[in-house]
């Protein structure tokens, strides 16, 4: 499994670039992150994070705060390290043997990479929705009930039923599936599957939800539903979303962070980033001159 | 424009060549499949035609007088007394009554060989089952001797000159007399499926070998399945990637290629000589075969586990499932069809394995039907080997029949493998 994940994350463009525009961009001297990477009410603080795949450095000295109850979008060209960065936030990178993380990542001021931190507990607090909908080959009910079951969140069947129903309602899927809760989750359409995956994640009642291009495999209508859903979810959760679609970032997020070549180039209010970017690279990217 | 036309012509020209190559390849494929099917059919037809006679048995109807005095039995004989009684006497009397003209010792002895050696046990068992038969005169279809069987089934040619024939003129005349009086008939050979091996072809059965194979495979499955699946899970999901694990992987692959007789020698040296486990027993056979089956199941299970999409593991891990929960709740169920298929293929291999079992004494001549894994037993392929090695004509058909039984079990196991794969296969 690890190789497959690796291939997805380590983009060849990181080392070999053919695009003349990006060639140019290399000449720009890298300075520190532009904008406001820090915020006052931070849920997660990342400080000087470096990530390596064996000897290959994928993330260079990234410091970024993620505020409570905000939606922050991570954008940037393929292979810029935004997915890798996202995966450090719930230690999903632990599953890759050759992956090494340096620096501090604090969730509520506790270092999640300290020896004391249990990754299982961390992932219950920091949930994740993946790029490709990946429901378990089980019934819709069992998909949603799986997390609460393994964590022992409910005391009896009726509590579990309520939790499953509540999660499906929050994910905007309940009306569509209420008559076939025991049909296989893999039989749903792509957009429904992704909302099922979101329901499954919020059933564990995490504090933070990480979304790795959650709508990239979906059609525009399903995408619109997911985006609408994110607006509702931010009432209860902190959301970090990686996206390739700048329109999506503009629509759903309050803050946007632009990654380039493993470095965090610019962070700021979404409006400001898209209307008045401070860094030359950000401007080139959002105006579509590379990416 | 000119250039485009040229290209079209060039493509057209090359098309003919490409299609020719494709047709050639297709017909070669068809020829090879046809060849394979023809050989398979020849093999099956040959085995079946040779085996069919083994499923019927010639019987000789004789009227025997179960006289207590002649059998030397008391008024109320107990079982021990019955076991000791000589039932041969009354059968011989019946034969003599049929052919009163036979008087010389030599001729009498020849006459007595018309019925099988098993006839007296057949009669004894009947009497033990129903004591009221004693004192009566009953007509019993006795098992005929293998020579009589061969004459009736036509495998001994009656038209040959006497000197070239195994059954002499005198005996042939008796057989023909009995045939004319309607005392000879053939019936389905239940005995073949209900008894163990024997030196007499007509008495030899396959039940001992079937049960021997069953117990052996039971031990093999019980040992190799859990060990192999656990090893595969550890190597795929938990093991660190280092030199030591690579070394183990290479050795598992090498183990799959070790000649099976070497495992037999190992079994003899370690399990029988060192651990002094019983010889010729399915227990040792099963242990030896599980050594052989382990690499097969491990390799199949590993590739099945490897084929489980990483997204499934990520989904579980992302929800906060522990590594162990991820493996047992999601990875293993998804990999199960592949694991089961590999296991059954390994078992089918073990069922057909002969060489290592020769080394641990399962090639012994064993009449008793094994009652447990520690009893001496033989297995189906070795039974085939033993019968094929026997000189008596009657064993020829038994050999083919045993092969048919073996093939039946192999086909059945493969069918189960396909069924399980279809049943547990899930889509995502």
By the CB < 8 Å criterion, does A150 face chain B?
A: yes
Residue of A203, A209, A227 lying closest to A129 (CA atoms) = A209
- What's the angle, vertex CA B86, arms to CA B84 and CA B89, rounded to 5? 175
Percent of chain B with pLDDT over 90: 56
With H, G, I as helix, E, B as strand and everything else as coil, classify residue B324.
helix
Residue of B236, B425, B249 lying closest to B335 (CA atoms) = B425
Burial bucket for residue B82 (CB in 10 Å: 0-12, 13-18, 19+)? middle
* pLDDT, tens only, B101-152: 888 999 999 899 899 988 988 899 888 888 888 888 899 999 999 889 989 8
- C-alpha to C-alpha distance for B396 and B388, rounded to whole angstroms: 7
Q: Are B294 and B227 in contact (CB under 8 A)?
A: yes
- C-alpha to C-alpha distance for A108 and B343, rounded to whole angstroms: 50
Residue of A224, A93, A138 lying closest to B428 (CA atoms) = A138
The residue of chain A with its CA nearest to that of B309 is A1
Give residue B404's pLDDT: 94
By the CB < 8 Å criterion, does A113 face chain B?
A: no
Give residue A221's pLDDT: 85
Q: Kindly report the nearest CA distance between residue A124 and chain B, in angstroms.
A: 5
Are A90 and B318 a contacting pair at CB < 8 A? yes
B188-212 average pLDDT score: 92
Are A136 and B312 a contacting pair at CB < 8 A? yes
DSSP label of B55:
G
- Phi/psi for A40 (5° steps) reads -75, -55
Give residue B5's pLDDT: 66
The residue of chain A with its CA nearest to that of B307 is A1
DSSP A49-98: EEEEETTEEEEEEEEEEEETT-EEEEE-STTSSHHHHHHHTTTGGGGSTT
Contacts of B325 in chain A (CB under 8 A): 150
- The CATH number assigned to the domain with range B207-424 reads 1.10.3720.10
B416-428 average pLDDT score: 77
Q: What is the ipTM of this complex?
A: 0.82
Encoded tokens for B407:
């093939």
Give residue B44's pLDDT: 94
* pLDDT, tens only, B293-310: 999 999 999 999 999 999
Are A204 and B319 a contacting pair at CB < 8 A? yes
Give residue B247's pLDDT: 93
Are A137 and B428 a contacting pair at CB < 8 A? yes
By the CB < 8 Å criterion, does A127 face chain B?
A: yes
By the CB < 8 Å criterion, does A117 face chain B?
A: no
Give residue B216's pLDDT: 96
By the CB < 8 Å criterion, does A149 face chain B?
A: no
DSSP A236-254: T-EEEEE-S-HHHHHHH-S
* pLDDT, tens only, A8-28: 454 444 443 334 444 444 444
DSSP B61-102: EEEEE--HHHHT--SS--HHHHHHS-THHHHHHHHHHH-TT-
Are A1 and B240 a contacting pair at CB < 8 A? no
Q: Are A197 and A233 in contact (CB under 8 A)?
A: no
- C-alpha to C-alpha distance for B116 and B284, rounded to whole angstroms: 35
- What's the angle, vertex CA B17, arms to CA B15 and CA B19, rounded to 5? 65
Q: Are B318 and A92 in contact (CB under 8 A)?
A: yes
Residue of B62, B61, B64 lying closest to B134 (CA atoms) = B64
Which CA distances in Å does B127 have to B24, B123, B183?
72, 6, 22
- C-alpha to C-alpha distance for A123 and A90, rounded to whole angstroms: 6
Give residue A14's pLDDT: 42
- What's the angle, vertex CA A254, arms to CA A219 and CA A104, rounded to 5? 105
Contacts of B314 in chain A (CB under 8 A): 5, 92, 95, 128, 130, 134
Confidence band, pLDDT 50/70/90 cuts, at residue B4: low
Residue of B34, B382, B61 lying closest to B208 (CA atoms) = B382
Q: Over chain B, what is the mean pLDDT?
A: 90
- The crossing angle, in degrees rounded to 10, of helices B119-129 and B88-98 is 120
- C-alpha to C-alpha distance for B216 and B282, rounded to whole angstroms: 4
Residue of B286, B146, B268, B126 lying closest to B214 (CA atoms) = B286
Contacts of B310 in chain A (CB under 8 A): 1-2, 4-5
- C-alpha to C-alpha distance for B252 and B271, rounded to whole angstroms: 21
* pLDDT, tens only, B39-96: 999 999 999 999 998 999 999 999 998 888 888 888 788 888 888 888 888 999 999 9
Q: Domain residue spans in chain A? A: 2-8+37-286
Candidates 3.40.50.970, 3.40.1010.10, 3.40.50.300, 3.30.70.20; CATH matching A2-8+37-286: 3.40.50.300
Least confident stretch, A24-28, A211-215, B16-20, B210-214: A24-28
Are A146 and B319 a contacting pair at CB < 8 A? yes
Are B318 and A127 a contacting pair at CB < 8 A? yes
- C-alpha to C-alpha distance for A127 and A125, rounded to whole angstroms: 6
The CB density around residue B148, as the number of other CB atoms within 10 Å, is 27
Encoded tokens for A131:
């790029």
Least confident stretch, A37-41, B20-24, B34-38, B311-315: A37-41
Beta bridge partners of B405: none
Q: Kindly report the nearest CA distance between residue B224 and chain A, in angstroms.
A: 26
Q: Kindly report the nearest CA distance between residue B305 and chain A, in angstroms.
A: 10
Are A120 and B322 a contacting pair at CB < 8 A? yes
Given a cut of 50, the residues of chain A with pLDDT beneath it are: 1-4, 6-8, 10-30
The sheet that has B184-188: what strands, in order across it? B137-143, B56-65, B184-188
Contacts of B326 in chain A (CB under 8 A): none
* pLDDT, tens only, A33-85: 777 788 778 889 988 889 999 888 899 888 899 988 899 999 988 888 888 99
Which of the residues B320, B327, B335 would you substitute to probe the A interface, choosing the one with the greatest number of A C-beta atoms within 10 Å? B320
């Amino acid at each position: 499994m690890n190789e497959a994940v690796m291939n997805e994350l380590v983009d060849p463009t990181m080392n070999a670039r053919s695009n003349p525009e990006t060639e140019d961009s290399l000449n720009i001297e890298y300075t520190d992150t532009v904008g406001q990477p820090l915020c006052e009410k931070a849920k997660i603080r990342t400080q000087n994070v470096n990530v390596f795949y064996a000897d290959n450095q994928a993330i260079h000295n990234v410091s970024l705060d993620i505020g409570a109850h905000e939606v922050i979008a991570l954008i940037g060209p393929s292979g810029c390290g935004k997915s890798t960065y996202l995966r450090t936030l719930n230690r999903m990178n632990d599953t890759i043997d050759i992956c090494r993380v340096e620096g501090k990542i604090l969730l509520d001021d506790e270092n999640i990479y300290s020896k004391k931190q249990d990754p299982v507990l961390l992932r219950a607090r920091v949930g994740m929705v993946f790029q490709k909908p990946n429901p378990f080959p089980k019934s819709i009910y069992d998909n949603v009930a799986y997390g609460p079951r393994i964590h022992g969140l409910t005391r009896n069947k009726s509590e579990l039923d309520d939790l499953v129903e509540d999660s499906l309602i929050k994910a905007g899927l309940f009306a569509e599936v209420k008559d076939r809760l025991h049909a296989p989750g893999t039989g749903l359409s792509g957009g429904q599957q992704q909302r099922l995956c979101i329901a499954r994640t919020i059933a564990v009642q995490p504090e933070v939800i990480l979304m790795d291009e959650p709508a990239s495999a979906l059609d525009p209508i399903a995408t619109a539903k997911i985006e609408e859903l994110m607006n509702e979810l931010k009432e209860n959760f902190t959301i970090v979303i990686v996206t390739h679609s700048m329109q999506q970032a503009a629509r759903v997020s309050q803050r946007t962070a632009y990654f380039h070549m493993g470095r965090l180039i610019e962070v700021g209010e979404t409006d400001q980033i898209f209307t008045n970017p401070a860094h030359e690279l950000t401007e080139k990217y959002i105006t579509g001159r590379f990416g | 424009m000119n250039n485009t036309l040229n290209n079209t012509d060039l493509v057209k020209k090359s098309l003919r060549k490409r299609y020719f190559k494709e047709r050639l390849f297709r017909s070669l494929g068809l020829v090879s499949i046809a060849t394979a099917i023809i050989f398979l059919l020849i093999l099956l037809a040959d085995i079946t035609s040779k085996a069919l006679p083994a499923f019927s048995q010639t019987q000789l109807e004789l009227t025997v007088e179960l006289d207590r005095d002649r059998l030397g039995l008391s008024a109320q004989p107990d079982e021990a007394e019955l076991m000791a009684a000589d039932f041969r006497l009354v059968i011989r009397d019946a034969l003599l009554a049929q052919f009163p003209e036979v008087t010389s010792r030599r001729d009498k002895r020849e006459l007595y060989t018309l019925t099988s050696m098993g006839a007296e046990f057949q009669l004894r068992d009947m009497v033990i089952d129903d004591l009221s038969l004693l004192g009566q005169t009953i007509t019993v279809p006795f098992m005929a001797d293998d020579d009589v069987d061969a004459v009736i089934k036509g495998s001994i040619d009656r038209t040959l000159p006497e000197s070239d024939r195994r059954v002499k003129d005198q005996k042939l005349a008796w057989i023909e007399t009995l045939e004319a009086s309607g005392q000879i008939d053939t019936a389905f050979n239940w005995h073949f499926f209900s008894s163990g091996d024997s030196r007499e072809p007509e008495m030899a059965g396959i039940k001992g070998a079937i049960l021997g194979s069953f117990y052996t495979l039971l031990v093999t499955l019980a040992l190799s399945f859990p060990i192999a699946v656990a090893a595969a899970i550890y190597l795929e999901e938990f093991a660190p990637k280092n030199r030591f694990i690579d070394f183990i992987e290479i050795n598992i692959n090498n183990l799959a290629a070790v000649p099976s007789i070497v495992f037999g020698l190992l079994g003899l040296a370690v399990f029988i000589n060192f651990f002094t486990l019983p010889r010729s027993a399915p227990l040792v056979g099963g242990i030896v075969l599980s050594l052989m089956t382990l690499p097969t199941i491990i390799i199949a299970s590993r590739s099945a586990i490897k084929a489980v999409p990483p997204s499934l593991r990520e989904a579980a891990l992302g929800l906060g499932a522990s590594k162990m929960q991820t493996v047992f709740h999601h990875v293993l169920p998804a990999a199960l069809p592949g694991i089961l298929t590999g296991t059954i293929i390994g078992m089918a291999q073990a069922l057909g394995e002969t060489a290592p079992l020769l080394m641990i004494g399962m090639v012994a001549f064993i009449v008793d039907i094994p009652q447990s894994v520690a009893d001496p037993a033989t297995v189906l392929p070795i039974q085939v080997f033993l019968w094929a090695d026997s000189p008596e004509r009657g064993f020829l058909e038994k050999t083919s029949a045993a092969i048919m039984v073996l093939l039946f079990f192999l086909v059945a196991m493969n069918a189960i493998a396909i069924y399980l794969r279809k049943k547990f296969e899930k889509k995502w």
